[in-house]
A and B are shown apart, each in its own frame.
Chain A
């Protein structure tokens, strides 16, 4: 659904108008159940505490979602306001910040963009309706000040982070109806100050064995519109076969997105035959795990960060 306002730096959506697509995306994300509940309770907590003195509670009105790519951080962040609007039955705003566009190599531009964007957010929030603001891939904007290298226009990057932090503070102080959601693949690259400005950090992990099974079954059902998947689906839903178990073992470390994508590869391997069978899927798994493994290694940063947190897969 189109946003009500599309800007270079952000899109603005209004729910419940056309919330369907966002809610569908939220529902399709298969993550440990408590993640969704936690997000909604957090939003609820903020709404209840709207008139509470913010300093007394050290409220930051921000949550940081982190985890590997393709696991549903963005879908959850985008779905949250839509789901909120539908369950609370109130008009709810959503601003999706185009983080990459904000960053500018031109001297002073990035800083200006940050300030302009938060001014706009402040305007939209001035009516007191709940407003969710998503800063996707926050590491782009708020790279760790301590690791800024000398060749990358260091002062500008520094000013930009400073502007961003100040804007966050002002937003939390002046607009108690705003909920900020940050996402990142690389929590370590984020400025410590930004991390500390989130009320809490929520990991959106790689899917567990059980969730992998659910995600694959969901994807198989989706492929069912074009292929005969009855046998394959039965196997997935039963989950007890050795073949399926093998698939689940082999897909460890794949994201939800990669898992769903397996079906596309499997269909391609089926080479135009109308029936998708388990061996097509296994073939796809073999192809992809190799590639994904490479990808995981090359993006060592987030693997490292998991190790640091003791959650590495």
Chain B
């Protein structure tokens, strides 16, 4: 016996309402035809509800002009049922994957969402018409969660793409919030300036045409995200007469000051190779001149050899002789002993962890966030900032969680999470203004989803309202904040590894290591959080 019945769901009032009505229709149809699996069918259907919600919300995001009340849904529910084929009413209904029962295939087609549901069709067993169609066997030969998972994987990809714009906006505003740190670095050729800068800030600095001070004397180099500019004194200490040179220097500094506070030179590193043991009169004059212009000058001895953990005696003597000259060095006349690259004679990288905090303290407040983000040797400062961001986002998520949010919103699309991810990434100094970051965020979200589906199915059911205990409901505050927390922490772990690898977030996310890290990280933090909350 074949029974087909069409139902029009009418204009959508709300996602929840529509879903509830669809479930109700299914049950009614089955009951009307006397199918004993009607109750089971309803349970099955509620398990698929998240898919539908997901579709609807995605649609809403993709086209903000669309209101649910204008989207007409037509539902065609078709039941194929052969009552004669050995019904066994004694089989208990124990859950979603209940054992054998009377066979009945329920096919449901929902019209009205053609564009976004075409993807789904191939995933369903009983496609019919042009709408969102899915089918399931009441007897349980086809576990619905598997269908749901495949569909979610596909949809997550789509959804990720659709949020690209939002991610970029968030990320750009996070970067803008950081401001910029401008460092000038002086020292003769071979003083180890670039090795020093590379060790502290990474190697992706490129000469930039941006900014006022593009001359042969003071060349700005910038990161792709432009939160750091390094002005290299290349060529400043040769050629011209000293007066000309000092005059030019003053002009340069004045030029950077003419602009925004983000354009000021915030600090100067004056690099001298420890083994050179010379600070010439001309260099001394430049230091005094720079300090006279109001710039904090940090004197950095590069390539300092250590003996038993301390600079060798010759270097100490040199440092003392510098300090004996009473130069206006910041902070408090200090000389910094550093080595930025290890090799045979200088087997230890050292001193950068003293230079950096000292620099942090002498630069204006406004430049500090950018400095913390741009440097890559002190993770703890970055972590501190990122932890604050996560904490704020968790609080916000808990508040949002108090209002009904479908699953898809909670994990994927809540602006709160996007905001958090963007700000963490910016705080670790791992991104650019380019759209690649949104791809990375999408990849991450996909990673979470497939991992959620594959390895913590139990939690998946909890995460998907309707499949688990929270039938038909929203994500509650605890779930929302847990997801946010686990997301934030695993994203932080990812960022830290990327910093250690010296990679940008998007290139790092392309590696299999990153995906594994995310999966492990999210699971671990998720479990930890849930154990703590006892849920």
Answer yes or no: do A and B interact: yes
CB–CB B343/A124 < 8 A: yes
A-facing residues in B263-307 (Cβ within 8 Å): 273-276, 278, 303, 305-307
Residue on B with the closest CB to A120? Answer: B344
Asked if residues B345 and A91 are in contact (CB atoms below 8 Å), the reply is yes
Provide the residues of chain A in CB contact with B276, threshold 8 Å. Answer: 128
Q: Does A210 contact B (CB under 8 A)?
A: no
Q: Is A25 an interface residue (CB 8 A)?
A: no
User: Is A229's beta carbon under 8 Å from chain B?
Assistant: no
Contact: A51 with B314, CB < 8 Å? Answer: no
B315 within 8 A of A: yes
**A127 touching B278 by the CB < 8 A rule?**
no
Contact A124 B344 (CB under 8 A): yes
Chain B residues with Cβ below 8 Å from A124 are 343-345
Given contacts A90-B305, A124-B343, 13 further A-B contacts (CB under 8 A): A4-B344, A17-B307, A90-B313, A90-B315, A91-B305, A93-B344, A123-B343, A124-B344, A126-B190, A127-B303, A127-B343, A128-B273, A129-B303
Chain A residues closer than 8 Å to B306, beta-carbon distance: 91
Interface residues in A1-57 by Cβ distance below 8 A to B read 4-5, 12, 14, 16-17, 51
Residues of chain B lying within 8 A (CB to CB) of residue A91: 305-307, 312, 345-346
Kindly state whether residue A208 has any CB partner on chain B within 8 Å. Answer: no
Residues of B within 8 A of A5 (CB): 344
**Chain B interface bracket (under 10, 10 to 19, 20 to 34, 35 or more):** 10 to 19
| Residue B347 at the chain A interface, CB threshold 8 Å | yes
Nearest-neighbour CB distance to chain B for A152, whole angstroms, equals: 35
CB distance from B202 to the nearest CB of A (A): 21
Residues of B within 8 Å of A273, CB to CB, are none
- Shortest Cβ distance from A120 into chain B, in angstroms? 9
Q: Mark A182-202, 1 if CB is under 8 A from B, else 0.
A: 000000000000000000000
Q: Does A88 contact B (CB under 8 A)?
A: yes
Nearest-neighbour CB distance to chain B for A40, whole angstroms, equals 16
By secondary structure, the A interface counts as loop
Q: How many A-B residue pairs have CB under 8 A?
A: 55
> In the docked arrangement, what's the CA distance between A177 and B274, Å?
13
List B327-385 residues whose CB lies under 8 Å from chain A.
343-347
A123 to B307, CA, bound (A): 21
The distance in angstroms between the C-alpha atoms of A16 and B303, with both chains bound, is 17
Q: Which of A51, A89, A129 contacts B345 (CB 8 A)?
A: A129
Who on chain B is nearest to A177 by CB?
A: B275
Q: Are B312 and A127 in contact (CB under 8 A)?
A: no
B347 with A14: CB separation less than 8 A: yes
The B-contacting residues of A in range 48-87, CB under 8 angstroms, are 51
Q: How far apart are the CA atoms of A129 and B273 in the complex, in Å?
A: 10
Most buried by A among B273, B274, B276, B314: B314
How many Å lie between the Cα of A124 and that of B344 in the bound state?
7
Q: Which of B313, B314, B346 contacts A127 (CB 8 A)?
A: B346
Known contacts A90-B313, A129-B275; decide if A16 and B307 are in contact (CB<8 Å): yes
Q: Contacts A88-B314, A90-B312, A90-B313 known; A14 to B273 CB distance under 8 Å?
A: no
Residues of A close to B278: CB separation below 8 A? 51
Partner of B275, one of A12, A16, A127: A127
What residue in chain A is nearest B346 (Cβ atoms)? Answer: A127
| Cα(A130)–Cα(B275), bound, Å | 8
Q: How far is the CA of A262 from the CA of B314 in the complex (A)?
A: 44
Please determine whether B344 and A90 come into contact, CB atoms closer than 8 angstroms.
no
Least Cβ–Cβ distance between A254 and chain B, in angstroms: 38
Q: Kindly list the 3 A-B residue pairs having the minimum CB-CB distance in the complex, ordered from nearest.
A: A128-B275, A91-B305, A89-B313
Chain B hits for A12, CB < 8 A: 344
Q: Which of B275, B278, B315, B346 has the most CB of A within 10 A?
A: B275
Q: Provide the bound-state CA to CA distance between A130 and B312, in Å.
A: 13
10 A-B interface contacts by CB (under 8 A): A89-B313, A90-B275, A90-B305, A90-B312, A90-B315, A124-B345, A127-B273, A128-B190, A128-B275, A129-B275
What distance in Å separates the Cβ of A170 from its nearest Cβ neighbour in chain B? 16
B345/A14 in contact, CB under 8 A? yes
Least CB distance from B307 to A in Å reads 6
Complex CA gap A5/B347 in Å reads 11
Closest-CB distance, B296 to chain A (whole angstroms) = 27
- List residues of chain B with CB within 8 A of the CB of A126: 190
Beyond A89-B312, A90-B313, whether A129 also contacts B343 by CB under 8 A is no
When chains A and B are docked, how far (Å) is the Cα of A124 from the Cα of B347? 11
Q: Contact: A129 with B344, CB < 8 Å? A: no
Residue among B303, B313, B347 making CB contact with A4, cutoff 8 Å = B347
B278 to chain A: closest residue by CB: A51
- Complex formed: what's the CA distance from A196 to B207 in Å? 45
Which residues, 113 to 146 on A, are CB-close (under 8 Å) to B?
123-124, 126-131
Q: With the chains together, A127 CA to B277 CA distance in Å?
A: 12
Q: Which of B302-325 contact A (CB under 8 A)?
A: 303, 305-307, 312-315
Nearest B residue to A124 via CB reads B344
Q: Which residues of A are found within 8 Å of B303, using beta-carbon distances? A: 127-129
CB distance from B194 to the nearest CB of A (A): 13
Closest to A95 in B: B344
Q: Which residue of A lies closest to B315 (CB)?
A: A90
Chain B contacts with A in 415-466, Cβ cutoff 8 A: none
Let me know if B313 and A129 touch, CB within 8 A.
Answer: no
Docked complex Cα distance between A5 and B342 (Å): 13
Complex Cα spacing A14 to B307, Å: 10
Shortest distance between the CB of A171 and any CB in chain B (Å): 16
Inside 8 A of A177's CB, which chain B residues have their CB?
275
Determine how close the nearest CB of chain A comes to the CB of B153; give it in whole angstroms.
Answer: 50
A14 to B343, CA, bound (A): 11
Contact, CB under 8 Å: A127 / B315: no
Kindly report which residue of chain B lies nearest to residue A3, judged by CB atoms.
B344
Closest to B316 in A: A89
**How many Å lie between the Cα of A177 and that of B345 in the bound state?**
13
Closest CB in chain B relative to A70 CB, distance in Å? 31
- CA–CA, A94 and B362, complex, Å: 40
| Whole-angstrom CA separation of A145 from B305 in the bound complex | 41
A4 contacts across to B, CB distance below 8 A = 344, 347
CB distance from A95 to the nearest CB of B (A): 9
The residues of B that contact A89 with a CB separation of less than 8 Å are: 312-314
A131 to B275, CA, bound (A): 11
Q: Report Cα–Cα, A130/B278, bound state, in Å.
A: 15
Bound complex: CA A128 to CA B195 (Å): 15
Q: How far is the CA of A89 from the CA of B277 in the complex (A)?
A: 14
Distance (whole angstroms) from the CB of B277 to the closest CB of chain A: 9
Shortest Cβ distance from A50 into B: residue:
B276
